[in-house]
Amino acid sequence: MRDHEGIAPERTSGVLVVEVSGELDIDTVGQWTKVIEDTICELPGPHLLVLDLGQLEFLSVRGIRGLLRAFELCWERGISGCLIATPGSAVERVIRLAGLTGRVPLFPHRLAAIAAYQPTEMRWLPS
């Protein structure tokens, strides 16, 4: 269920996934940033913010600034963050050209993103 047009936040065990679809441009970046800020600030904080841009059709320079601002808010609160973009898509190319991958990890899908932040040690309990 989407909170606002094109934006769907979802929490699962310390991971906040926000799926953004449609366009992230000058007309939508304010609304989108507000949803991120509100979602980060409510309830017990997540330890990881995953911004899923897999359904995003267009990403502008203003949208890139909004992404960076969202991650800055997370870092101020001690929350890690990463992006998801479809490999080879226009959105992925914009993210790479803007140099955002130098500051925020980029993954091809949610499972890869969440797995990258899981502890490397696994403890097996005897049955």
pLDDT digits (tens, 9 = 90+) for 46-67: 688 889 999 999 999 999 998 8
Residue 121 lies in a domain: no
Q: Does 44 fall in a domain?
A: yes
CA–CA dist 116, 99 (Å, integer): 21
CA dist 55 and 57 (Å) reads: 6
Q: Which candidate, 28, 32, 5, 7, places its Cα nearest to that of 18?
A: 7
CATH number assigned to the domain comprising residue 66: 3.30.750.24
Joined together, the tokens standing for residue 53 give 């841009």
Q: Flag whether 83 is in a domain.
A: yes
Instruction: For residue range 9-33, list pLDDT tens digits in order.
Output: 554 567 888 888 899 888 888 888 8
| pTM value surpassing 0.75 | yes
107, two tokens: 């993954």
